[in-house]
A and B are shown apart, each in its own frame.
Chain A
């Protein structure tokens, strides 16, 4: 089982601030997904990144996959209260059966 680290674990910011959360491992991923989980709900897929160095944008969210495909970051510009939630990364390894496996997550609270 790969060691997967997400940081920071908790983040509490004011509306309008920018933030970046990270997902790191010593293993090489074939792809990586970011999910967001709002309180009382199940996780919902935000994006899948596949190629090393890939950058994807989803409105105010920017996702980057590391060149070596061992890490990823999620940057949020001008955070809003609606961004509050648990951000989870779910990498895929090559080989074996695919099972979505999650990191511990970053819990984000955006205060109005």
Chain B
């Protein structure tokens, strides 16, 4: 297993366009998390899945954002009608369990630039 994989690594899009990112977690990890990170900040939680169920969404996740994890494997994060404020690094992480202190393994992220 090569760890958490995110695609694409970089995405430049025009304002108003839709974009979709993909995350392939470590095999058999039940938990999958999405975060957004801007320059000078730590990762901010967006949403997470326990298997295929999306259990919690942050207030940061506006109606333009949607995430799925069909069959509890890979996940996609879609942003509709992108805005310049959506420019950020989008990180995906997975963990084997939801127990406190479980290690979260992160992908390298997708850097989104909205022009």
Contacts and interface: CB of A to CB of B under 8 A. Distances in A.
Interface residues of B, number: 25
A41 B3 CA distance: 13
A85 interface: no
What range describes how many residues of A lie at the interface? 20 to 34
A42 B101 contact: no
Interface stretch (B14-22, B61-69, B91-99): B91-99
A9 B4 CA distance: 28
B41 A98 contact: no
Interface string A6-44: 100100000000000000000000110100000011111
12 contacts: A30-B100, A31-B100, A31-B101, A42-B93, A42-B106, A42-B107, A42-B108, A45-B104, A48-B103, A50-B101, A98-B100, A102-B44
